[in-house]
Chain A
């Protein structure tokens, strides 16, 4: 192996066969490395990078389903900015993301703090808590749809019988503020396990001595959480919040199943509006322009992730 085939040839000895030469070439670390990464690279270039480029091209053209159009510059962006529905969607997206994310972060940290305590049936409880995250979202949202039904809502039935609401109770999916509350509730329900379990992993990795030392020094539970636990959780929380921001902002399933963006577009998010405009309406150019509005947020998140979080 140490003697190259060229040297063997010069020495007049029969060189190794072609197969052996190919093998020797393939065994080089960099060749093998490129070889193994190639399938993944081809896939990502053809089905992620190329479609992404297409999305940009679509957004700059008057492309309709079935009729490739021409380049129109920023006309689609100008059109959507002048569109009342789009402006409503921008507002919805920020309201939806801000409220859902805050609830998920607060409740998630609280749940993680409870789960880290010594309790019986630990595995069972964790399993139950994680369940909403595992079940297909579109299907569990169907269950919520039934729970928010205009006539047979179990939420209203319970609230009325507990005396919290007066009959007949709100039409959850038919009134804009209630519909937004419903969509946020389902998103929090679905995303809470992710927050809680990842925060729990962060909590478990904090040595108990820190907490005990603070307790000996006379710090109360809130002070221990605020000045000991929370600062140590910061790196984990930063990653989780970043991930959750992207996936909450780009949510599609919950809104599509629960409200289809209604009533009167008050729960539309970028993804559902892009679906409605680009596929149901056939205006691929404008649809692509709407879904590309997710890109600045994504780029910011990636920047922070690469710049600060992955530094270590």
Chain B
């Protein structure tokens, strides 16, 4: 009797949980589903008010995707995004590993103030600085090139990565480092051969976040680059696929879907790192 009652309660609790989770899942996923089916619908069906919008009824077509590749610079935008994201991430990681190790482990005057400074810049939103930075890239002579973004993206990547990595470096036992130093390793060797291998999960996490932040960045990419051939995928799709005429929704959605694919791929393989980085970035702060 007792166990039967608790089993019934368990089932009720589970039903309650799932019933409440479903609206959240629909809310989270429906826009993606809708973008995906829109990108495969024919224009005749898209702009027919009588058709059911949730389904593809007259057959899926790939014309919108073909249009992207044949009539727009979509592939160039994807290449730009990839180059910018990889180079900016790599540069930021090197700078952040050095800074993060220095702030987490080495004792010197001013270390605490530097740590606070890094944290404060981490909170500065890009929308506060885009106007003066647009003038800085003009003065540097890199305005309207991919370099404008490669140079400016580290301004938000380095504070974030440094902060994240400091947490991971602190978990490496101090004794291990001291042993290496006593055995005659230089400080740089201790960092690269002893500490870095032990902080690999943190470095992977920082790399993933940096790549995602670069790929998704919008306001700098919109502001500093105006030539279509130098645009990133996100800005190219958002700004250049919208024409004066009306029937562009299919190719617009196709562009949005394809430009998200690299991020989705990375995300699916490294989901746990995203969760770890997200919680570390905010909660450890």
A positions within 8 Å CB-CB of B: 23, 26-27, 29-30, 32-37, 39-41, 43-44, 47-48, 50-52, 54-55, 58, 107, 110-111, 114-115, 117, 119, 123, 125-140, 142-144, 146-147, 149, 151-152, 154, 157, 189, 192-194, 197-198, 201-202, 236, 239-240, 243, 246-247, 250-253, 256-257, 270-271, 274-275, 278-279, 284, 287-288, 291-292, 294-295, 298, 301-302, 305-306, 309-310
User: In the complex, which of the residues A131, A252, A270 contacts B218, with contact meaning CB atoms closer than 8 Å?
Assistant: A252
Q: In terms of DSSP, what is the predominant structure of the interface of chain A?
A: helix
What B residues does A132 contact at CB under 8 A? 28, 31
* A253→B219 contact, CB < 8 A: yes
What residues of B have a CB within 8 angstroms of the CB of A152 in the complex?
Answer: 46-47, 49, 53, 249
Closest residue of A by beta carbon distance from B241: A142
Number of interface residues of B (CB under 8 A): 93
B283 touches A287 (CB 8 A): no
B31 and A139 contacting across the interface, CB-CB below 8 Å: no
| Chain B proximity of A271: nearest CB distance (Å) | 4
Query: Which residue numbers of B lie inside 8 Å of A, CB to CB?
Result: 13-14, 17-18, 20-21, 24-25, 27-29, 31-32, 34-35, 38, 46-47, 49, 53-54, 94-96, 98-99, 101-103, 106-109, 111, 114, 116-121, 123-125, 127-136, 151-152, 154-155, 158-159, 162, 186-188, 212, 215-216, 218-219, 222-223, 234-235, 237-238, 249, 252-253, 256, 259-260, 263-264, 267-268, 271, 274-275, 278-279, 282-283, 285
Enumerate chain B residues within 8 angstroms of A151, measured Cβ to Cβ.
49
> When chains A and B are docked, how far (Å) is the Cα of A131 from the Cα of B275?
11
Please give the distance in Å from B153's CB to the nearest CB on chain A: 10
Query: In the complex, what's the smallest C-beta–C-beta distance from B21 to chain A, in angstroms?
Result: 5
A144 vs B31: C-alpha distance when bound (angstroms)? 7
Of B31, B102, B249, B252, the contact of A189 (CB 8 Å cutoff): B31
Asked if A239 and B187 sit within 8 Å, CB to CB, the answer is: no
Give the nearest-CB partner of B129 in chain A. Answer: A51
Q: Say yes or no: A55-B132 contact (C-beta < 8 A), given A37-B114, A152-B53.
A: yes
* Contact A136 to B152, CB < 8 A, known contacts A55-B129, A55-B131, A298-B125: no
Could you tell me the distance in whole angstroms from the C-beta of A107 to the nearest C-beta in chain B?
A: 8
Taking A131-B29, A198-B282 as known contacts, 15 extra A-B pairs with beta carbons closer than 8 A to each other, sorted by chain A number, are A32-B188, A33-B108, A40-B118, A47-B151, A125-B21, A127-B267, A134-B274, A139-B260, A142-B256, A152-B49, A192-B28, A198-B283, A240-B282, A288-B132, A291-B127
